[in-house]
Chains A and B, each alone.
Chain A
Amino acid sequence: MASELTTQSYITHHLTNLTCGKTPSGWTCDPYKVDQMGFWAFHVDSLFWSIALGSLFVFVFRRAISKNKDASIAPSGLQNFVEMSIDFVEDNVQSLFGSVKNTLIAPLALTVFVWILLMNLMDLVPVDFLPVLAGHIAYLIAGDAVEWIKGPESLYFKVVPTTDPNITLGMAFGIFILTIYYSITVKGFKAFIAELTLHPFGKYLIPVNFVLEMVNFIAKPVSLGLRLFGNLYAGEMIFILIALMLFFSSIPVGLMGFGLHLVWALFHILIVALQAFIFMALTIAYLAMAHETEEH
């Protein structure tokens, strides 16, 4: 890794995941061997933050219950927040799902919403803060033992899981599986296949129908994952570019970058919450579609 900091290396550094995978010479996290890893590689940073924030969600919500089990005491603080989130999710599920009873939908929607919101919020942490911290810690602990850690900057560390398409598409994939599962269990296998093959042109054009419906069917999870990824990736990218204004330019441009950073961060709060909400709403909508039994 080049020791001098250039614009390009700065951007690359921020857009590369800490990837661990199997190479012909064994398991490694060496960023220069990513090409040899193939499919069986893991973005350790994305997964770390994803699991950490998911655990935070479960911890906070569990804490709200254990703290105040008695329904006769007025809720306060954390519990209010938790109940507000649940009310919000319940309302959305109610409006999209109506009468269909499925106890999984609301918890799923809540998990997806809070989890994605937390992951998106990582975008508001200043772009260099956690990567540099992680790099220094890694260098301090493993600098001598691990061959590829040559300095604090040789460790890649992306802190916003939702800017990793693997994370967003992974969640969309999970929802896709659930959609198929409920489509088959609620409608029956036959009706599910019929839905994919008998529309829109009737039974004489089954291949055409299948191709059209398949595109529609696959597009849903892909667009679900890519929408979230795209929005957050773009947001992160702009934060990185603004950060570049601060470090690589003259003082007036740096000051302008400071103001821009504030403005973009404020605007980004909206995107953070909106994208989490959209993901949740679409999750509920897709699962509601899977439960719709009538022909359309």
Chain B
Amino acid sequence: MNINATLLAQAVVMIVFVAICWKYVYPPILSMMKEREKRISDGLEAAKKADDSLEEAKLAFDKELNQAKAEAAEILEKANARASQIVTDASSKAEIEAEKIITSATKTVENETNKAKEELKKQMSKIIIDTTQKILDDEISEEKHNDILKKAAEEL
């Protein structure tokens, strides 16, 4: 083991290499690494923000969708109600109309029947009177005849 000037030479060489590293090697690499680190953290932050806004948009979309669904349901319900209303109205109108028709028809029928009855009565009375006149002939005066007619009509 012999110590000689190599020791001093190595110390000088070391100082030179450390100086080179200090001035030209270390700072650019470190600054590049720091820059990249910052870029990555910025990117992550931006991604997180985008994620958040996506979440927000999703929420807004869901809200809108639900609202639209509710509206649609409401409209549908209203339409249904209206439709059933119309049907009910129509059917009740029809019923009333039908009732009216029936009533009037019944009335007409009644009237006709009454009329026919009256006519029949009249004809019947006339036939009876005629027959009776023929039977009684002149025995009954005009006066009596009318009297009988009246009685018969009343009895009928």
Contacts and interface: CB of A to CB of B under 8 A. Distances in A.
Partners in one complex: yes
A182 interface: no
Interface string A51-66: 1001001100110110
What is the size category of the interface that chain B forms with chain A? 20 to 34
A174 B2 CA distance: 19
A157 to B, nearest CB: 15
A72 B40 CA distance: 9
A237 to B, nearest CB: 13
Interface in A76-95: 82-83, 86-87, 90
Given A47-B9, A166-B7, A171-B11, A71 B32 contact: yes
Identify whether the interface residues of B are mostly helix, strand, loop, or mixed.
Answer: helix
Contacts of A108: 18, 21-22
A290 to B, nearest CB: 16
A104 B18 CA distance: 8
Given A71-B32, A83-B33, A110 B5 contact: no
Given A40-B5, A169-B3, A50 B32 contact: no
A121 B28 CA distance: 27
Nearest to A171: B14
Contact of A164 (B5, B6, B18): B6
A37 interface: yes
Contact of A58 (B4, B11, B17): B17
A184 interface: no
A21 B27 CA distance: 39
B13 A54 contact: yes
Interface in A111-131: 111-112, 115
A65 B29 contact: yes
B10 A106 contact: no
A39 interface: yes
A46 B11 CA distance: 13
Q: Which of B3, B6, B9, B14 has the most CB of A within 10 A?
A: B6
Given A86-B29, A86-B30, A62 B24 contact: yes
Contacts of A259: none
A159 interface: no
Contacts of A103: 22, 27
Given A62-B24, A103-B22, A43 B15 contact: no
Contact of A71 (B6, B20, B39): B39
Interface string B34-59: 01100100000000000000000000
Given A71-B36, A171-B14, A42 B22 contact: no
A286 interface: no
B4 A61 contact: no
Contacts of A21: 4-5
B8 interface: yes
Given A39-B5, A65-B29, A82-B29, A58 B10 contact: no
Contact of B17 (A40, A71, A72, A111): A111
B9 A42 contact: yes
A107 interface: yes
B26 to A, nearest CB: 4
A171 B10 contact: yes
A107 B6 contact: no
A177 B11 CA distance: 10
B25 interface: yes
A165 interface: yes
Given A72-B36, A170-B6, 6 more contacts: A17-B6, A42-B5, A58-B21, A71-B33, A107-B26, A108-B22
11 contacts: A38-B4, A57-B21, A58-B21, A58-B25, A64-B29, A65-B29, A75-B36, A86-B29, A107-B21, A110-B25, A167-B6
